[in-house]
Structure 1
Amino acid sequence: MSTPTQELPPAQDPPVNGGTQHFDGTAHSALPTPAAHGTDYSWQSWQSPLSGRYASKEMSAIFSNATRFKTWRLLWLNLAIAEKELGLNIPNEAIVQMKANLDLDDAQMKAAAVEEKATRHDVMAHVHVFGAQCPAAQAIIHWGATSCYVTDNADLIFLKMAFDVAIPKLALVIERLKVFAQEHRALPTLGFTHMQSAQMTTVGKRATLWIQELLWDLRNMQRARNDLGFRGVKGTTGTQASFLQLFEGDHDKVKALDKRVTQLCGFDYAYPVTGQTYSRKIDVDVLNSLASFAASATKMATDIRLLCSLKEIEEPFEESQIGSSAMAYKRNPMRSERICSLARWLGNIANNARETAGNQWMERTLDDSANRRMSLPEAFLTTDVILSTLQNVTEGLVVYPAIIARRIAAELPFMGTEPIIMAMVTAGGDRQICHDHIRLHSQDAARVVKVEGGDNDLIDRIRATEYFEPVHGQLDELLQPDGFIGRAPEQVDEFIRDWVEPALAPYQDYLKRAARVDLAV
């Protein structure tokens, strides 16, 4: 049997630039029309959502080129100051001109880009451009130093600056959660183990579990920040040979130079030994503290997402906010979902630092450079976004006691069986016989709930059973939710008094000034 032939459409040239081919055969590019020369259409090129969409201006500024290259110039200035103080022939005018030209303008940034394209060396490009601005200092800029004098020392400065932004923000999140825990310290709610209903706790007590992990993160970040040292002036392979030559073999002056530059740059100490770079183990230590925080953020945000699905708690939801483009009734926990998404990214950046540290050869290799240009800024920018989002969530958490009470009422009869058994034994009953009655009634009540879809009628069954008549008058009292929360309210009070408030004491000025956060998106 023959098959009919089908005439094929005429061949068309493939679309270009990732475009699509329309039904009329014309190709349209997916790329925007190039901007006119000199027009800044930044929206026409990819930007990191961390800086372009989420992160705060203060954290983004730390890792900007403006801050980076100004810091390089400040490091060259401090080196020149210390060298001059220790006797090297550096004119006063050189110091004056360097101090007056720490900030770069657009013309200098463009000139540095041209130099770097020609030399393939970013540090030397900026040495040349800085020298052009400071002719009296041109001959002594970078004297005795290697590139890592500015790149590594600048990174250590940025890490400290970034911690100084992140740590108070973490303290603020803890403060907001503290208020939430206090407000709901005695509100009974079902506990969950294996995500199955378990013994009751309180809404406030559950919040203290989140706070405790964040307190550990606060401790870890404080320690990582305070442990940061300075690379200092160590030379090309860490031996300080170039500086020993500058000071004509005077070891004391070389040590004094290292100490003085360290002080001028705001550090308490310099690492006693380095290769060309500071050990990348420092980056591991720093990013591990952030990755640990990511785990805490994930845990808290996941709990909130689960509680949102139970309708017991809701994260902030603005009047004009849209939960779904299709399902208009939805109130998705998008903030908590964002936290989980970004925290997953942050946790994996720490693995990157570990791999980089382990793969440094001898005194150094350059395979860390391009990697760290991304990993260090992105780790802190991500941390900043998570902190801002956590603050927004904790400032607007809504609790629905009626929903919580309804869920408790559905489960409380089963939880109340042990107090009923104990009351029966106190009234003279046999524990084993009582246990058997409770077991059979519980199975029947569970069948009503699971098979018939009815309400839990266990207590009605007990009221209708003559055997339990000695405790019929006590049942309402035995089944009060407040009787099932143990020391939860007292634990909240003691935890906040003994642990939270002392940890937050150093940040009181910041906490008093802090305003509510307004997320951009």
Structure 2
Amino acid sequence: MIPRYTLADMARVWAEETKLAHWLRIEVLACEGWARLGRLPQDDLDQIRARAVAPPPERVAQIEEVTHHDVAAFVQAVAEPIGPAGRWIHFGLTSSDLLDTGLALQLREAADLILDRLERLLGVVKRRALEHRETLCIGRTHGVHAEPTTFGHKLALWAFELARDRERLRAARQGVSVGKLSGVVGTYSQIEPAVEEYVCAELGLRPAEAASQVISRDVHAEFVWALAATAATLEKLATEVRHLARTEVREVEEPFGRGQKGSSAMPHKRNPVLSERICGLARLVRANLQAALEDVALWHERDISHSSVERVILPDSTIALHYMLHVATKVMEGLRVFPERMRANLDSTGGIFFSQKVLLALIDAGLPREEAYGIVQRAATESWERGSHFREAVWAEVEGRGVISKDEFWDLFTLGPFVRHLDAVFGRLEKLDVLDAQPASSPAGPQDGGS
């Protein structure tokens, strides 16, 4: 992932130095496992512990120019300064024992950072939902006015969806926390299962129930699926902000900083660029899921077709989602909400959103459903096309029918009943377990006309 969308803490997870440090730890722990079984002399283990250091990436790259094999280059670079005891480095192991177990550590660390960012966003969305629990706005289906809701209810929906993403990510973190030191085809032919058990226990991983030369890639595909599902939630949130920020709607506005410019040509522009950036990155994460699924079907006990894919999609997907969560938190923290504009939009269609309420009242008064529906639909059409108020239009249809009094009819046109049961939703929201939201500490990134 390009630096533009990479935050420092996630960059460290995927740094080459981090990867090599994980590999070294696995190699030393494997030596300890062999020593516990009496296979590796204690004096040699002491030398390994004293002299084994993670080699500089430059040294590994230098050796790899000759070996054309990154793990073989690493093993050589580690063993060189140890001396004779270095012969025990990588004893009984195969490359994927290092690669897959080290990758599990990186994915677990990445998941922890993502979950931390998600927790912050969830806390902000919950707080703002409660803040706007009574802020009336029009609900839209198919982009068309439907019935009133509250902006807080819209945010509560997002909060519960984010909470489900949190559970999916927690499960994915657990799923990918698996290690493997079982040799070239997973049969422990040259290594004892006890070594794998010891290494995995020390690393806080569980041994793979069964493996070939690699850990089965459904594990990693499931992890990327959880990332993609979370990215889709953020895209949903950002898309709504973009729609509501349109000039014709203008119910919300992204935070706009001092000195920020929305356009190089038009000084008036205040574009929802952060939300647009979230939507763009969501496409990337979602597309990477396809590649992760393609990696599941490897040949026989293993081929290497997955390796080049994972070197791209796993860092990129975690880096992108981590950054998206950060940006989404900035958006939700600083989102400007315009209740007056929401009310103006709600009132702009002359009350036609009362149509279902009137329909049910007429049915309750004894009219057949189809007859009642026709009355209400004709009145709504007249109101919409002529700009008249729906209440007067529909009363002109029913006044002479004697099915409902004028007072009863007029009482239908109150907003309170639309949201009278939302306390049930907000009661559940108040019980939603989230950490106290902390302000996002690092900048959201570039604010230019691009993304």
Question: TM-score, normalised on structure 2?
Answer: 0.88
- Name the residue aligned to 1:354: 293
1:479 to 410, 413, 419: 413
Larger radius of gyration: 1
2:65 to 107, 112, 117: 117
Q: Is the 8 A contact 1:232 1:261 kept in 2?
A: no
Measure how far apart 1:347 and its partner are. 0.7
How many percent identity over aligned positions? Answer: 25
Is 2:35 the counterpart of 1:84?
yes
Q: Is the 8 A contact 2:349 2:384 kept in 1?
A: no
Q: For 1:132-181, what per-residue CA distance to the aligned partner results, in whole angstroms no more than 9, with x for missing partners?
A: 23225322111111111211110111111111111121122111100111
Measure how far apart 1:98 and its partner are. 3.6
Is 2:324 the counterpart of 1:400?
no
Change beyond 3 A, Cα 1:76–1:426: closer
Structure 2 matches for 1:456-495, cutoff 5 A?
Answer: 456-459=388-391, 467=399, 478-488=412-422, 490-495=423-428
Letter of the 1:273 partner, please give it.
Answer: A
Letter of the 1:308 partner, please give it.
Answer: A
Gaps of 5+ in 2: 447-451
Is 2:275 the counterpart of 1:324?
no
- 2 CA distance for matches of 1:466 and 1:212? 43
Q: Is the 8 A contact 2:92 2:190 kept in 1?
A: yes
Letter of the 1:109 partner, please give it.
Answer: P
Q: Is the 8 A contact 2:137 2:346 kept in 1?
A: yes
Gaps of 5+ in 1: 1-47, 244-253, 450-455
Structure 2 matches for 1:274-353, cutoff 5 A?
Answer: 274-309=211-246, 310-353=249-292
- 1 CA distance for matches of 2:43 and 2:439? 44
- Name the residue aligned to 1:496: 429
Larger relative contact order (CA 8 Å, sep ≥ 6):
2
- Name the residue aligned to 1:18: none
- 2 CA distance for matches of 1:371 and 1:76? 25
Measure how far apart 1:90 and its partner are. 3.1
Change beyond 3 A, Cα 1:73–1:433: closer
Q: Is the 8 A contact 2:182 2:193 kept in 1?
A: no
* Equivalenced residues, count: 442
Q: Is the 8 A contact 1:287 1:353 kept in 2?
A: yes
- 2 CA distance for matches of 1:165 and 1:410? 45
Letter of the 1:518 partner, please give it.
Answer: P
Measure how far apart 1:281 and its partner are. 1.4
Q: Is the 8 A contact 1:190 1:408 kept in 2?
A: yes
Change beyond 3 A, Cα 1:126–1:485: same
Question: TM-score, normalised on structure 1?
Answer: 0.77
- 1 CA distance for matches of 2:352 and 2:26? 69
1:135 to 83, 90, 110: 83
- 2 CA distance for matches of 1:133 and 1:491? 67
Q: Is the 8 A contact 1:315 1:393 kept in 2?
A: yes
- Name the residue aligned to 2:449: none
- 2 CA distance for matches of 1:229 and 1:90? 31
- Name the residue aligned to 1:520: 445
- Name the residue aligned to 1:183: 131
Structure 2 matches for 1:68-217, cutoff 5 A?
Answer: 68-92=19-43, 94-98=45-49, 101-104=52-55, 108-135=56-83, 137-217=85-165
* RMSD between aligned residues: 3.0
Letter of the 2:25 partner, please give it.
Answer: L
